[in-house]
């Protein structure tokens, strides 16, 4: 079972609208979903991406309804960009922007959703929010 499928997009969009936009070509829907998942992975790199999204051979082991809703909003925006102007683009653009804003807050550590974190690598120093910790020596200024 994949993170998102074509049938998962029917609550935010009607099936006949999806079929009209894609001309019943499921590869277009799959590309939009893959694009949405790829965009989400860019923001969620400190989490266990394999557990959340799975892979082509491994099913996801973690489910979260809100994370799924964010993915649907992003995937719907990817589809709607292909559509004609008889769809309320502002509504979906707002949902897309809200999803990205939330993912940015997660990426910055401003919110802590209950999603599985990736396993710690003992050779990589991390700070308290799970980000890589880097330090440096103070700049030297020599006076003669």
Each residue's pLDDT, cut to its tens digit, for the chain (144 residues) gives 689 999 999 888 999 989 988 999 999 999 999 999 988 988 888 889 999 999 888 999 999 999 999 999 999 988 888 876 667 778 888 888 999 999 999 988 888 888 888 776 666 666 655 666 667 788 888 887
Q: Which of 13, 99, 1, 113 is CA-nearest to residue 130?
A: 113
State how far the Cα of 78 lies from the Cα of 64, in Å rounded to an integer. 21
8 Å CB contact between 57 and 104: no
Q: What's the pTM value of the predicted model, to 2 decimals? A: 0.68
């Amino acid at each position: 079972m994949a993170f998102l499928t074509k049938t998962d997009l029917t609550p935010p969009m009607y099936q006949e609208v999806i079929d009209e936009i894609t001309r019943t070509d499921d590869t277009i829907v799959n590309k939009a979903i893959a694009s949405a998942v790829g965009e989400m992975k860019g923001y969620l790199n400190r989490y266990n991406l394999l557990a959340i999204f799975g892979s082509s051979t491994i099913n996801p082991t973690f489910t979260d309804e809100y994370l799924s809703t964010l993915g649907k909003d992003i995937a719907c925006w990817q589809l709607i960009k292909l559509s004609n102007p008889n769809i309320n683009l502002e509504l979906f653009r707002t949902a897309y922007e809200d999803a990205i804003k939330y993912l940015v807050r997660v990426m910055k550590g401003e919110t802590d959703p209950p999603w599985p974190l990736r396993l710690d690598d003992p050779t990589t120093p991390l700070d308290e929010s799970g980000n890589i910790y880097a330090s440096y020596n103070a700049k030297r200024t020599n006076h003669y």
